[in-house]
Amino acid sequence: MKILIINGPNLNLLGTREPEIYGTVSMEGYLDGLRCEFPSLELEYYQSNIEGEMINCLQKDDFDALVINPGAYTHYSYAIADCLKNINKPKIEVHISNIYKREEFRQKSVTAAHTDAVLSGFGMDGYRLAVLSLI
C-alpha cells in the first residue's frame, strides 16, 4: 500500500519553526520513525510552498491513500479543496496544532469537507494516527 503524505507551506521548517507550537522534530526525522514502524507500507512524502505544485502532485494519482496537511492553504485554498473533492481514495487531513485553539482565521478549513477525517492537535503523532487509520 502506497500512502502519500503531503505538506503545504512552511512545513519544511518543522523542527525549527515555532517549536512551542510545532515541536522540535523535523519531518524527515519523523518519517524515518514512521517507515520503521510500518515497513510494509510505501510512505511517499512531498512538501511544497506552492499551491499549484501540491495540486500537480495530488493529480498524479499514483497512491492508494492520502495524508495531507495543507498548512495555511487549509483556510483559503478552494483549488486544493476542489482537487481533494475529485480524489476517490481514503484521505485524512492532519494539523499538528489544535487549529480550534488558534487565531480565528485558522479555525476554518475549506479542505476538510473533502477528506474522510481530520486530526488536529495531536502534534506530529497526527501523521502516525492517520496512517494507522488508513491501514
- Known catalytic residue at 114: no
96 is annotated as contributing to ligand binding: yes
> Are the CB atoms for 11 and 27 separated by under 8 Å?
yes
Instruction: Say whether 75 counts as a known binding-site residue.
Output: yes
In the set 22, 30, 73, 127, the catalytic residue is 22
| Whether 132 contacts 106, CB under 8 Å | no
> What is the torsional sign of CA 57, 55, 115, 70?
positive
Of the residues 30, 73, 95, 114, only one is catalytic, namely 95
Does 106 show up as a binding residue in the annotation? yes
| Residue 62 CB neighbours (<10 A) | 9
Residue 17, annotated as binding a ligand:
no
69 has binding-site annotation: yes
Q: Is 68 annotated as a binding residue?
A: no
All three cell numbers of 33, joined, read 520513525
Examine the residue annotation and report whether 95 is marked as an active-site residue of this protein. Answer: yes
Binding-site entries for substrate: 69, 75, 82, 96-97, 106
State the catalytic residues.
Answer: 22, 95
